[in-house]
Structure formats: C-alpha cells, structure tokens
Amino acid sequence: MDIKYELNGGKWSPKDEVKEAFLTELYNFVNNNYETELKNINLEDFINAEPYIIGNLVGKYYLKEEVGGKLENQPDNYFIGYLYHNKKFLDLLPHLIKFFALWREIENCTEANATDFFANSWASLVDTAKFFKYTTVEDLRKSPEAPSLQDPRILYMLQNCPGLYNPPTVYEEGLRLPKPKRENYEFIGWYDNPNFTGEVYTHIKNNVYTFYARWATHTFFHSNDGYPTFDHLYSDFLKDFSTVVGKEVGKGVERLPNHGLVSEFCKESFNGNLNKFFSIKEYYNKWIWLIDWFKKLMKDKPEKLEYFEFKDGKFGLEAQVRWELNSLFVSRFHLVWPVTGDYSGAGIKEKLADSTNSSIIKVKYPVGTKVQFPKMERAGYELVGFYDNYDLQGEPVTEITDDRYAAKTLYAKWRKL
C-alpha cells in the first residue's frame, strides 16, 4: 500500500538531510579535537548559521591549505582529510571540489589560485556552506553574496547533491522516514495521528500508512540594552566621528576606480583623522571593542595583529584599520593594499550588533503549546515586559500559545530603579 504524509506546512528537501549530516560531522570533529567557541554553540544553531558565520567559526580546521593539493593527501587532523580517510561522504567530496572551482570561475574571482579548493580552507568551507544553502534560482537571487550566479552549470551542481534520500512511497517495514523542511521551524518527528500523541516514528512499522509531521519553532528574547541592529551601531559611530572631524559624515558610498566601494567615513578618515578619533579617551573607551573584534578575526594572521594596536596616539597601521572599517560598512572587501577581510556575508553584521547586548535567549517550543518566557535581569533596572519591536511601541507581548512569533524577536523594556 502507498504511504501518505501530512507535512503540515513543510516540504521535502532531501539535500537538507545531507547538509545536516555533513555539518553535524564537522561540528563533532571540531569539538572532539579542538578547544574553540564552537563548544558554546548548540548543534542546531551551527547547522542553521549563515555560510560566513560557519567559515569564521571553524574555517581553519576544514582542510590543510596546500596549493595544488589532492584529496588523498589531506591529513586526518583536518576535517576533509578525516572524511576521506574514514571513507565518509566519498561521493560528495569531489562534487564540492568541482562546485567550488566552478562557482569561483563564474564569479570571476581574481585572487591567486582562486579555483583551487585546497588553497584556502576558509573560502572552501564558506562555499561548501553556500552549496548547502542554495538550490534554486530564487535562492541565488535572494542571496546577498551572489545574486548574479544563475548559471545553469551552478544550478546543476546545486540540484544534484550526492547522497540524497527520498521519502518512501510504498509501505515496506523498516524503511527510514526522512525529515521534511519548513523555514523557521524545526521538525520534531512523525506521528500516526494529527493530535501528535503516542509514539514518535523514525521508520515505517506497525502497519502505519499515514504519517503526520509535528513542528516546533522558536522566538528570540532580546535584552535590548545594546544596539538592536547594525544600522544603529553604524549611525552612532558616525555621529561620534562627525563630532571629531567637525562635519556631518553620512552613509553615502562612492565607487572609486582603484578601490571599489568607499564610504564617506573612509574618505574623511584620511590624514590621521582615525588616529585623532581614537586619541580622545571618551571615544577610545566606547569603540575600542570594535577594533578588538577585528583582531579576533585576524587570529590566523598574527602578522597583522600589530596593525590594530593603538599606542602613543596611533594605530600600528592606520590604513589597515581604516579600510577594515570601510569594508565592514560597505559589505565588501578591499582587494588592493591593504587587503581586508570579507564582511559581505549575511549574518556577520547582525551578529556583531547582537554582541553588544547582554543577552539574547532563543526559546524553542512545539507549535500550539504555551511558551515559558525566560527570566532576564539587568543591574539597576526592572524588566517591564517584551515588545515585538525594538522601539517598544504598542502593547507588550504577554503570552505565546501559537506560532505567530515564529523566528521573530521580542525586545525587553526596562525601568530604571
């Protein structure tokens, strides 16, 4: 007999199962072999992170960098070598290598060894994560990284992922039930009834012919005591910088022939103005954390760390810091001297703004259950309530019993004691 599935808003996405299996393997490999901040991130959040965030978290452990390298020569203390030598994902690995080269070729990357999968561990992991994130033309069009990469060859690679497992359509005892996908929801399991009572099924058995998908979702509870968005952070930085240079510096961007996108800040920070800005104790104390954030991203480039040291009224290399800030503000890296990091990826700026807040708590709950709001404290303040906007307008949200706040953020309002 035929098997029926009630997806309850979900859809089949076999590629997502491969993604989950691959990134779970990566997550466990890094946590079992290295001490990193990944231990403070749960598996589900890692799997669902944006490609650039995944790259920044564990890019150095993905593969041993070797120009012209071969899969079989990768050591097993790097993830790709570990997979190869343990005979895992052997069909997928050559596919990822080919996809990387094709993506970079079509993207017209001008870096040295741009299409060489083994030349840059971070870049290879980021593009692997992009391979799992995108499947359709619509995915690419919505992408902040590569909306123009709608080449048929890329689509073929994206849509022909090795290792796919499709849902069984005919009853056969013991066959595995795959996981469906629903954006902003997490799959809980299969049940044999629409009330989701009794056994959770992972395989076909017990003469059950109809399976019902149950979903959970999540809501973020935001302390709202820092910057709610990167745009707020950027505005505040420019306000302070404008005070020092004696003119209003806006968010305009100009494309210069030799430099690409250049912000108003970058143009106004020439001639020592950035050093002047950080020489003022008030602004140094307020913004040096942002420079320290750049330093953390440079942990694999120790030769650059001294550029970000501020001593005797100046940075080690003011030009590096100025262009690094420019690249952050315009979401593009600087390709000529001084070469900067790439801040174009989705999630990078959001995570930076989030880090200025004392707490952002993700509460997961099965759809249809009553949500227990988390406790949140702030020294010298009393929590008034949570609102569905960071401006704290309208009525507070006092109860969640459905999924109207699925994957949304509720912001805390505080009263000073």
d(CA 5, CA 281) in angstroms, rounded, equals 63
Give the Cα separation of 6 and 196 in Å (integer): 12
Query: Sign (positive/negative) of CA torsion 107, 109, 113, 117?
Result: negative
- Dig out the tokens for 183 from the structure: 């954006």
Ordered per-residue pLDDT tens for the chain, 417 residues: 899 999 999 999 999 999 999 999 999 999 999 999 899 999 999 999 999 999 989 999 999 999 999 999 999 999 999 999 999 999 999 999 999 999 998 888 778 898 999 999 999 999 999 999 998 888 888 776 665 667 889 999 999 999 999 999 999 999 999 999 999 999 999 999 999 999 999 999 999 999 999 999 999 999 999 999 999 999 999 999 999 999 999 999 999 988 889 999 999 998 899 999 999 999 999 999 999 999 988 877 888 899 999 999 999 999 999 999 999 999 888 888 998 988 887 889 999 999 999 999 999 999 999 999 999 999 999 999 999 999 999 999 999 999 999 999 999 999 999
Please give the helix or strand (H or E) that residue 243 lies within, else none.
Answer: helix 230-245
What are the C-alpha distances in Å from 149 to residues 127, 136, 395? 13, 11, 44
For residue 223 the two structure tokens come to 């302390």
**Contact predicate 242/210, CB 8 Å:** no
Classify the C-alpha dihedral 291-292-296-298 as positive or negative: positive
CA atoms of 7 and 182, how far apart (whole Å): 9
pTM for this prediction? 0.84
Three-state DSSP state, 1: coil
